[in-house]
Structure 1
Amino acid sequence: MFTALLQVALGGALGASARYLTGIAITRAVGHGFPVAIMVTNVLGSFLMGVLVVVLAKKGGTAYAPLLMTGLLGGFTTFSAFSLDALTLFERGQVTAAAGYVLGSVVFSLIAIVLGVWIARMVLA
């Protein structure tokens, strides 16, 4: 149990750091306003989760799930930040942008996890 907790803590620190750096890079590339950085992070994290769930299961690596899935990707994806960004857009009166952000984040994250599973299964078949 303690080993898994350490894995989650280490993965979470790495994931949160990766999220921070990704957010800075995307914001510098596209600017402020619409929360593209959080949306991209959640979609990418969902894709990677799809890949990992297949790879770890097929390769007998489930012992690494606390580090990689709960820790790394849990720290990397940002649904609490997503919720705040959606609320902020809504409260600014940007109702259409808020709705697009929520719908786009959910739909693209679901598509990304399906693609991640599909690609990982094809590669490992």
Structure 2
Amino acid sequence: MSVGFSSLLLVAVGGALGGMGRLAVTNLVTRRLGATFPWGTLVVNLSGALVAGWVAGRLGVPTSLELSAAWLGLAVGVLGGYTTVSSFSLQTLSLWQSGYPRRAVGNVLATCLIGLLLAALGWWLAGGAQ
């Protein structure tokens, strides 16, 4: 796959916007719900799963290495910068090591199971089921 400058720019701008969105949503949710559980990261990852499903339903899932500009900008850039597996992993590990194994397991289950359901819902809402 040849990656041109315009593709890199789409991903970079999208990633910057997604990262700023992640910071804003995480801070807002944490202020409202507290920091005893990583609610902000959970909300970011679940809302990102919903939007990812919607994008896949609207644009289709790429089957080759040639990605459209919309897919690069939205799925790779914005959603790649918005959602975060690293924060999820570190926060889950921290919960476990801090003596909250049920919260850690709850975070894994909520992120993975609800995330999958929301991705499917997003795909369905976009008309991907047609």
TM-score normalised according to structure 1 size: 0.91
Show structure 1 runs of 5+ residues with no match. none
Residue number among 22, 35, 38 corresponding to 1:19 in the alignment: 22
Distance 2:104 2:7 in 1: 37
Runs of at least 4 residues of structure 1 off by over 4 A?
none
Distance 1:4 1:62 in 2: 9
Deviations 1:32-56 (A, max 9, x none): 1100110111010010001011212
Which protein has the bigger helix share? 1
Structure 2 residue 99 is the aligned partner of structure 1 residue 113 = no
SS across alignment from 1:121: coil
Counterparts of residues 1-125 of structure 1 (less than 5 Å): 1-57=4-60, 62-121=68-127
Task: Report the identity percentage.
Answer: 37
Shift of 1:12: 0.3
SS across alignment from 1:93: coil
Show structure 2 runs of 5+ residues with no match. 61-66
Which amino acid is the alignment partner of residue 12 of structure 1? G
Q: Alpha carbon RMSD of aligned pairs, Å?
A: 1.8
TM-score normalised according to structure 2 size: 0.88
Deviations 1:48-71 (A, max 9, x none): 0010112123xxx93211111001
